[in-house]
Amino acid sequence: MPAFHTIDDLGDLTGKTALVRVDFNVPMEGGRITDDTRLRVALPTIRDLCAKGAKVALLAHFDRPKGKRAPTMSLAPVAGPLSELLGAHVAFADDCVGEAAKSTIAALGPGQVVLLENVRFHPGEEENDSQFAAALAQEGDLYVNDAFSAAHRAHASTEGLAHLLPAYAGRSMQRELVALDLALGAPKRPVVGIVGGSKVSTKLDLLQNLVAKLDTLAIGGGMANTFLYAMGHPVGESLCEKDLADTARDIIAEAGRKSCEILLPIDVVCADALGPGVETATRDIGDVRPSDKIFDAGSKSAARLNAAIDLAHTVIWNGPLGVFEIPPFDAATVSVARHTAERVKSAGLIAVAGGGDTVAALHAAGVADDFSFVSTAGGAFLEWMEGKALPGVEALRPR
């Protein structure tokens, strides 16, 4: 992994203020948090900085206020639940810059915490405005980024600020970077990638990047139909981007040049309609009927992928193999997820997964906690898999 300064590089911080970028864009209903996972993720960094004597000022965004103050998008409701999780009072400042922020921070003692108001209330945040970044920098002595999930955005609090203060990776950011490096940066080979989802068009950059880095790439979900069609197999009335057949063939050809084996389904689960309890039929590729709709990979496809995983040292996964939300079309995803988790336990397999649907699928299979690392970063995880530089990460590199 490229060198990044971390909290371990910091000594006593008494008298210093640490500006910490966190991701508190939590789901809310009626002004109450319905899932506090993102708050919990930030606790190790907050606690470590407090233990070093720092005043900790938390920077975060919530929703999309488009540069204007919106009371329904205030971070004020987060301060209470965060206090409970932290076991210590978290103050709240009505702004992230100016007198409101300055006076609240000044009133803190060593090891105390303040949550600053939504940075996106200022248009300079998403514009990465240098003056706004400078105003944020005036509030602190050092900067810690613990929000990998926002690292793909070149905003003032995720990128601009890192150039104005000594910059460090927080604990969550550090864990993410280490895990991702193990998956694609310097992985133990063979490496198997699993990419699912509905459309090839949304993951072209991802597929083109991965075929150059993986030993085996398994393609599932609706996007597999496009590849099957491109290879001359019937897909009935299934979701299929027929206009991308040439693109799919180009990806397969590039994989061949890069010695990356492509695994497509060899059998599929079909039905006339999508719904729980519908009548299904499992057909070999080549036997799909004109009226069929493909909603999952078949058991032989899952078994073949599991056999490839048995030979792998690293697995990286983005996207389910079928419409996992509606049984029985979750069978292939669950089979491969549980097999991967078992290999992590029994064989030391490194298994890294990410993306909203993927995380939900692993939870549904009951194995999310058994993978080596599961990223909840969404867009940032996908852009990293696509091989793109993430501004919030690049800004942390030592200069």
Residues involved in catalysis: 38, 199, 356, 379
| 25 in Cβ contact with 62 (< 8 Å) | yes
193: tokens are: 């990638």
Q: How many angstroms separate the CA atoms of 62 and 23, rounded? A: 8
Select from 176, 223, 173, 175 the least CA-distant residue to 197. Answer: 223
> Phi/psi zone of residue 129: left (φ > 0), alpha (ψ -120 to 50 degrees), beta?
beta
Torsion of CA 54, 58, 59, 65, to 10 degrees: -160
